[in-house]
Amino acid sequence: MNYTKLGESGLTISRLVLGCMSYGEPGRGGHGWSLDEDASRPFFRAAVEAGITTFDTANVYSLGSSEVISGRMLREFATRDQVLIATKLAMPMGSGPNDRGLSRGAIMTQVDASLQRLGTDYIDLYQIHRYDPHTPIEETMLALHDVVRAGKVRYIGASSMWAWQFARMQHVAELGGWTPFVSMQDQYNPIMREEEREMHPFCSATGVGVLSYSPLARGRLSRPYGAASERLGLDETGAKLYRQDETSDRAISDAVGSIADERGISRAQVAMAWQFTKPAVSAPIIGATKPNHLSDAVAALDVELTADEVARIEAPYTPRRPEGFV
């Protein structure tokens, strides 16, 4: 395993982050593909054995049960100071008007609930899952600063939003002398590269590390274009993504497949290796529900794509509308 700093912060993370959305009570919160605790155990064991130290979940994943399982598994296979736990808040956790968002009340309530479910005294990286247009930025940033000062959280991060929104939040933190975000978690892969226009240059210029999610475009880059996927049949949100320019998507997928065939490696390894050519990306977040998902990601660390191979993957790309958060 390789390790790197998260942007220009002092936090050292593994070059691969295990995403824990796939682990939780099956069917809860609409996550029909989730693996229960027993089925999740081998993936946490394999990740720790591979040297992965960084694990990403969210309060909303399987309505809290992902945090429960993640906390238990990490206590089983590692000591607390050996791993970094990242989680998120903002999405609805109940039917009440204060069960969501980034108000001071929501932040104070949800951080304590996540700590209890995870079974830990602190969260290494606490991320806002989305921008909250209904709460003053000053209120959000001061509340996040306060949970850091209280020792409940060590670093804060953000997830998908417009670059101007992220810049405003960082500016408010700077003006208040409050804790800034050290990371941006966004959707980024060879068939969704819109973050290269504004968000990634801003992050690179300001020392913010990028944690890219869906590095395989929810599996579309790990198999021939259009091939069936068990998860897509259960993932209503995922089934709606990557439908803007199917001609371009197919060409990108074919390029990944051709390079994989030439090298004698899997498509997933090629797509993951592409992530490591991007200076803005501190680490991609990988999902694993089958053993090869994790082994392919680890193997990709040793794959160095040539400039020509990167160009072949990127040449068919066409501009498209950002999706997944708007």
pLDDT at 323 over 60: yes
Cα atoms in the 13 Å half-sphere on the side-chain side of 39: 14
Catalytic residue among 23, 61, 188, 242: 61
| pLDDT tens per residue across span 204-224 | 999 999 999 999 999 999 999
Token code pair at residue 243: 């439908």
Cα 289 from Cα 30, distance rounded (Å): 17
Domain residue spans in the chain?
3-219+278-290
Backbone angles phi, psi at 89, to 5 degrees: -145, 165
> Is 122 labeled as catalytic in the residue annotation?
no
What is the mean pLDDT of the segment spanning 178-191?
A: 98
Gap between the Cα atoms of 105 and 99, Å rounded: 9
Which pLDDT score is estimated for 33? Answer: 78
76 pLDDT higher than 70: yes
Q: What is the pLDDT of residue 231?
A: 59
Q: Does 230 or 163 have the greater pLDDT score?
A: 163
How confident is the model over 139-182, as pLDDT tens digits? 999 999 999 999 999 999 999 999 999 999 999 999 999 999 99
Mean pLDDT to the nearest integer, 107-127: 98
18 has a pLDDT exceeding 90: yes
What is the Cα–Cα distance from 199 to 216, expressed in whole angstroms? Answer: 20
> What local confidence, expressed as pLDDT, does residue 45 receive?
98
Question: What is the tens place of the pLDDT at every residue in 52-75?
Answer: 999 999 999 999 999 999 999 999
Arithmetic mean of pLDDT over the chain? 95
pTM, two decimals, is 0.94
Contact 93, 99 (CB under 8 A): yes
| 184: helix, strand or coil | strand
Residue 31 has pLDDT above 80, yes or no: no
pLDDT score recorded for residue 319: 97
Locate 168 and state its tokens: 């405003």
pLDDT for 227 = 81
The identity of residue 233, as a single letter, is: G
pLDDT at 241 over 90: no
User: What confidence score (pLDDT) does residue 208 get?
Assistant: 98
Query: What's the DSSP call for residue 36?
Result: -
CB 301 within 8 A of CB 277: no
**Per-residue three-class SS string for 147-171:** HHHCCCEEEEEEECCCHHHHHHHHH
Distance CA 305, CA 255 (A): 13
Res 275: pLDDT: 98
| 257 φ, ψ (degrees, to nearest 5) | -65, -40
Q: Does domain 3-219+278-290 have CATH number 3.20.20.100?
A: yes
Q: Which two tokens stand for residue 62?
A: 């399987």
Tell me: pLDDT of 21 over 60: yes
Confidence (pLDDT) at 226 = 81
CA dihedral 152, 156, 161, 164 (to 10 degrees): 130
pLDDT band at 253 (very low <50, low <70, confident <90, very high): very high
